[in-house]
Every structure is written in structure tokens, then in C-alpha cells.
Copies of this chain bind each other. A is one copy, B any other.
Amino acid sequence: MTGPDEHERERVTAALEALVDEYAAQGRERLPSERALALTLGVSRNAIRRGLDTMEAERRLVRLPGRSGGAFITAVIDATPIPPFLFDTRAPRIVRDLDTVQGVPQMLRAQGFEPATRIVSEALEPAPDIVAAILGIPTGGPVVSLLRLRLADGIPLSLERMYLDAERFPGLLDHSPIHSLYTLLSSAFGVNVATSDETIEVTAASRQVAGLLGVRPWEPVLAVRRISRDDAGVVVETSVDLFRADRTRLAVSTVRT
């Protein structure tokens, strides 16, 4: 029952999908022109175009302009879910080893990249609830808030937000700009980071984050949350690192216990 007063989008979409399937089954790769499709389905060319837009966004079609252009059905080459090429890990990504507590600059240099750090902001702030709870200080207590952009070969790699207890590390910001924080904590305060707990998930880059990282807004990024503790198990710092998903590979080795 395709009533005349309902929108045509579903009908057009369904018809186009059926047509694509039919063409694919026959091995025909080019759809009829938009104008021809509009005539056939009895709708305007705009309606056809919106339907094709959807299928192009889903990578089912590729559209090319020009005399011999048209809408081409995406090859049935990727017929296998999780194809074997995914097993290849040689692609040129920057590897972040989760087995070691290592600074980003050392990590980059070891892989042949030229590291750089841009301090976006360094400030003394009252601690938000969650941060205070993690650091074990009262809400609103003073914390050092660092926001740093890491670059590899001049291209943004990650954006890092770090919080430290300002009363435990007085005058920390006087050492600005801070590049190797762990070294500074060790030499100036005698505090060594012994263990880290990290969690990893995928989030979307906000407009601001995307601008700093040089990606499109709402592109996926890897969010690595970290809580670092000293030898006594006391929390030293907590951070969130946002890594560009297109440049990063995380690595971890596990020994069965």
C-alpha cells in the first residue's frame, strides 16, 4: 500500500537498491543515468539524486562526472567479512606500546618520527569532581591542568589533557614549558611513576579537538584514559590522550598467568 500522500524516499530507495542488486548479480557495473531513472520511477531527478546520495554514502556506489561517467556499483571484491588483508599490520601507523610507561617523544624517535610538542595551555585550576576523586583531593582543590598537542613529523598525532595535584607539586608550572613531565617529576620532586592503568575507547572528536588534531569534526579518535601511580600506589596524575585514529596503532603483549 504505497499511498500517494506518503514520501517517496522509501520507495525510491527500495527501487534503487533492488536495481543495484539486480545489476550486481548480472555483473553490470553502471546504473542508468539519473534522468533515465527519474523517468522510469516517475519521480524527479532530485529524488533520484537523494537516493543515490544515500547509497554513495554507504559506499555501495561511486559516481563519476563526465561524458562516460555515471553511478558505478561498488565491486563485490570485499565479499569476505574481515578479509585477510586486515591481518597485515605493516601499514605506516605510529605504534603506541601499552606495555611500557614511556613518553611520547621517546616513542616517536624510536620509530623514526620527528617529535614535537605544542603547549596549548598550562594552568592552575580548581579540580572538577571526577578529577578530584581520582587524585584523592577535595573537589575544587588546586590542580595543575596541562593541555599539550603532540606532533609527529609536524603532523598532529595526539592531544593530551593531564591533571596533577598542585599542592603535591608546588611550583610545577615554573618549569614551563614542560616537555618531559615524568623526568621533571623524578628530578624535581623525587616522584617516580611505577604503574599505569589505562582504558581505551573510541570517541568522536568535538569541533575544537578536531581543529587541533587536524581532522574533520566528529571523526573517530582513540581516547586513552590513564591513572599513574608511584611506588607506594599513590596516584600521581590522571590524563586523557586523544589519538588520531588514522595515525595510531596500539600494541600490547600478554603473558598468561
Contacts and interface: CB of A to CB of B under 8 A. Distances in A.
Interface residues of A, number: 70
Given A220-B202, A223-B86, A252-B252, A81 B128 contact: no
Query: Which 5 pairs across A and B sit closest by C-beta, in order of nearness?
Result: A202-B245, A82-B161, A220-B220, A84-B128, A200-B250
Contacts of A79: 208
A201 B82 contact: no
Q: How many copies of this chain does one complex carry?
A: 2
Interface stretch (A4-12, A166-174, A191-199): A191-199
Interface of A: 57-60, 78-82, 84-89, 93, 95, 98-101, 120, 128-131, 134, 147, 159-161, 163, 192-203, 206-209, 212, 217-218, 220, 222-223, 225, 238, 240, 242, 245-246, 248-257
A202 B200 contact: no
Given A81-B209, A134-B87, A209-B82, A254 B196 contact: yes
B254 A198 contact: yes
Given A197-B252, A201-B245, 10 more contacts: A57-B218, A81-B120, A86-B223, A100-B257, A101-B256, A194-B256, A195-B253, A196-B256, A199-B250, A202-B248
